[in-house]
Amino acid sequence: MSEKQTLSLADLALQENRPAPDGSRATVCVQGLGFVGTAMAVAVANARDDSGCLLFNVLGVDLPDAAGRSKARAINEGRLPVVTTDDELKAAFDCSWAAGNLIATTTEEAYRLADATIVDVHLDVEYSSGRPSFRLDGFRYAIRTLGMRMQPGSLVIIETTVPPGTCNRVAAPELARALAERGLPEDAIQLAHSYERVMPGKEYYRSIVNFWRVYAGHTPEAAEACGKFLSQVINVKQYPLTRLHSTVASETAKVMENSYRAVNIAFIEEWAQFAEAAGFDLFEVVEAIRMRPTHSNIREPGFGVGGYCLTKDPLFAAASARELFRRGDLSFPFSEQAVTVNARMPLRTLSRVRDLLGGTLGGRKLLLLGVSYRNDVGDTRHSPSEIFVRAAESEGAEVAAHDPLLSFWPEMGRRLLCALPRPAGFDAVIFAVRHREYTSLDIESWLDGARPLLFDANRVLGSPQRTAARRVGCRLATIGAGDECLGH
């Protein structure tokens, strides 16, 4: 293949109906425009030097399929392709779009323009013979695409959460093979790892630019280049970078911290069941424990665990040990059991609702409030609400669902209620997600004489709302507390 560059930045901008950005700036590609990649692209596009001048031109690149084209079109038309309640992210996107240094595309030729590429592609878990494994075909293709197009001396930063060992044993060899086909040395492109800690929600944007980052390089030179780049995007004066000695260590840090959180949640789940049986309020207990500084991050009862991280990341260690390091003798029972326990959490809510409705769900009408996996986030991937609805409907219940941030539920293939309905006609209302619309709801006015069972599966309702519900004679139950504790 000829190394002649056939696409200029101005050509690409024209192709995407965007103004040509200043060609004197370095160009950064972001590979994958999901919840992480989109926010990262906006953050890099807004990076400035001490004089306030923009540092980078940013090309967001996604697959040339319907979803990828839709995301690229949205960005180029001045619309965020992800649902967010974060006004700071919206403002930063508007700023970069107006400045003209953020362009989205689905052409892989864009990588020829990149001084650096940040990899934000999906890497999913699957089960083989009952054991967790990971699918690397898409990831390998993504890395090979970079190896076949990026220029010598450029930098690849893998931000995707990957099984420990992936950079050394998968990405580096894939890059080397692609470079060899081009007649280039295997180290012509530098490789580094720096995992994201993005938290979609009210601090979506800040979780990138104002948060601690960990990184490592496949070589010392790559680590230096990665650290220099991150220091231009992140507020390192207040949130200093942490450099680890190897990419395996950096990869492990992300998997381990998410596994820790998943285990913490699973730990609380068994105590929630005890609190319900013994008749006390576990939320009250947790708040008392959090007063001790060493235990301030203990979790609390809830509806379930969802999203793209905690539902799969704890499984990466065992799969990595077995498939990348050939150490099938190593096991991670706490991490794997945590995923299993957390996946059952929404079924406990269903079980309690069933019991409170007389022991059967057949013919019952349920209203589920919240289908995203997290409050103030429009993301339904691995949502516990999906587990709840599928199980409830399998028992003959009729479930209507509402979410203030969504109109369509892709995993379920159904439209959601456009507006929060009145509870009349429902046997039970399940508050599943702490969206602002629900936490600020005027319960008494909303009930308007209706008396369904109200089940708070995620401590959505505050004390005044619970008091109002009881005052008008509503049955009220909550996860993690015995029925006699509802006065709290």
Q: What is the three-state SS of 360-379?
A: CCCCCEEEEECCCCCCCECC
The C-alpha atoms of residue 374 and residue 349 are separated, in whole angstroms, by 17
CATH number at residue 318: 3.40.50.720
Neighbouring C-beta atoms of residue 70, cutoff 10 Å: 13
Tokens matching residue 184: 């280039």
**Among 220, 245, 270, residue at a domain's last position:** 245
Q: How confident is the model at residue 435 (pLDDT cuts 50, 70, 90)?
A: very high
The C-alpha atoms of residue 421 and residue 37 are separated, in whole angstroms, by 35
The C-alpha atoms of residue 399 and residue 366 are separated, in whole angstroms, by 5
Surface-to-core class of residue 440, CB atoms within 10 Å of its CB (0-12 exposed, 13-18 middle, 19+ buried): exposed
What pLDDT shows up at residue 361? 97
What pLDDT shows up at residue 426? 97
Same domain, 241 and 265: no
What pLDDT shows up at residue 442? 96
* pLDDT, tens digit, 9 for 90 and up, residues 106-122: 999 999 999 999 999 98
- Per-residue pLDDT, averaged over 388-397, amounts to 97
- Identity at 95, one-letter amino acid code: C
The C-alpha atoms of residue 247 and residue 115 are separated, in whole angstroms, by 21
In a domain, 250, yes or no: no
Phi, psi of 125 (to 5 degrees): -95, 140
Is residue 4 over pLDDT 80? no
Same domain, 157 and 227: yes
- Considering only 3-7, 245-249, 300-304, 450-454, which range has the smallest mean pLDDT? 3-7
Same domain, 187 and 226: yes
Same domain, 269 and 213: no
In terms of pLDDT, which residue wins out, 376 or 399? Answer: 399
Tokens matching residue 74: 């949205």
Q: What DSSP element (H or E) covers 415?
A: strand 414-415
- Considering only 121-125, 268-272, 411-415, 425-429, which range has the smallest mean pLDDT? 121-125
Q: Looking at 129-195, which runs of residues are DSSP E strands?
A: 131-134, 155-158, 190-193
The C-alpha atoms of residue 284 and residue 350 are separated, in whole angstroms, by 23
Neighbouring C-beta atoms of residue 400, cutoff 10 Å: 16
CA 469 to chain centre: 34
In a domain, 1, yes or no: no
**Among 218, 245, 272, residue at a domain's last position:** 245
The answer to whether 348 and 478 are in contact (CB under 8 A) is no
Phi-psi region of 347 (alpha: psi -120 to 50; beta: other; left: phi over 0): alpha
In a domain, 223, yes or no: yes
End-to-end CA distance of the chain: 70
Residues in the chain: 488
In a domain, 152, yes or no: yes
Domain containing 430 equals 261-485
- Per-residue pLDDT, averaged over 403-409, amounts to 95
The answer to whether 144 and 177 are in contact (CB under 8 A) is yes
Q: Which of 218, 112, 225 is nearest to 170 (CA)?
A: 218
What pLDDT shows up at residue 1? 37
The answer to whether 156 and 167 are in contact (CB under 8 A) is no
Same domain, 276 and 227: no
In a domain, 2, yes or no: no
The C-alpha atoms of residue 434 and residue 431 are separated, in whole angstroms, by 8
The answer to whether 382 and 310 are in contact (CB under 8 A) is no
The answer to whether 197 and 213 are in contact (CB under 8 A) is yes
Same domain, 171 and 274: no
Q: How confident is the model at residue 255 (pLDDT cuts 50, 70, 90)?
A: very high
What pLDDT shows up at residue 487? 47
In a domain, 190, yes or no: yes
HSE, CB side, 13 Å, CA atoms: give it for residue 441. 27
Q: How confident is the model at residue 126 (pLDDT cuts 50, 70, 90)?
A: confident
Same domain, 474 and 433: yes
Same domain, 133 and 276: no
Same domain, 278 and 420: yes
Is residue 271 over pLDDT 90? yes
The C-alpha atoms of residue 228 and residue 156 are separated, in whole angstroms, by 13
The answer to whether 82 and 378 are in contact (CB under 8 A) is yes
* pLDDT, tens digit, 9 for 90 and up, residues 87-102: 999 999 999 999 999 9
- Considering only 152-166, 250-264, 347-361, 372-386, which range has the smallest mean pLDDT? 372-386
Lateral strand order in the sheet of 365-369: 398-402, 365-369, 428-431, 453-456, 476-478
Tokens matching residue 405: 């941030």
**Among 189, 214, 245, residue at a domain's last position:** 245
Same domain, 235 and 310: no
What pLDDT shows up at residue 134? 85
Is residue 483 over pLDDT 80? no
Q: Which of 425, 401, 423, 404 is nearest to 413 (CA)?
A: 401
* CA distances to 281, 369, 371, 391 from 272, in Å: 9, 21, 22, 21
Tokens matching residue 137: 């075909």
* CA distances to 236, 288, 295, 373 from 291, in Å: 30, 6, 8, 28
In a domain, 251, yes or no: no
In a domain, 417, yes or no: yes
Q: Specify the DSSP class assigned to residue 108.
A: G
Same domain, 204 and 296: no
Phi, psi of 32 (to 5 degrees): 110, 120
Same domain, 76 and 218: yes
Domain total of the chain: 2
Q: How confident is the model at residue 484 (pLDDT cuts 50, 70, 90)?
A: low
The C-alpha atoms of residue 166 and residue 173 are separated, in whole angstroms, by 10
